[in-house]
Amino acid sequence: MNHPGIGSLHHVELWVPDLARAITQWGWLLGQLGYARFQDWPAGRSWRLGATYLVIEQSPALTGRDHDRRRPGMNHLAFHAGPRQRVDALAAQGPAHGWTLLFPQAHPYAGGPDHYAAYLANTDGFEVELVASDT
């Protein structure tokens, strides 16, 4: 069995206020990026790509209902998304799946003139950066 390298990401767990909505929104995006459904339980779901998986969970231990990417903590997840055309397609399709384009006035160079990416946020305020492979 191939073991991932030391320091590579094992998994990311996001606590969400509405599991059904998160499954719909994250499920669409992760499926588009090549992740496969991995685990299901009453309070959560995960998707896997290679040795890494992403968990969404509506934990009973939540102390609030709102996520604010601008507060201390995680700001966003950045994914390799393929060529520029794929990034553009995901940005265009995102609104139909609960994702809004951030920084539209600077898209697709909101990260700088040499960084082609789409920045999207979902209904719960989680941000993703979809980075083009040809930048």
Residue 115 CA, distance from chain mean position: 18
- Domain-located, residue 41: yes
- Domain-located, residue 3: no
* Bond into 108 cis (ω within 30): yes
- Domain-located, residue 63: yes
pLDDT tens column, 86-122 = 999 999 999 999 999 999 999 999 999 999 999 999 9
The CATH number of whichever domain residue 27 belongs to comes to 3.10.180.10
Give the C-alpha separation, 58 to 63, whole Å: 11
pLDDT at 65: 83
- Domain-located, residue 99: yes
**Domain hosting residue 36, numbered range:** 11-132
- Domain-located, residue 4: no
Determine the average pLDDT of the residues in 30-47. Answer: 97
Total structural domains in the chain? 1
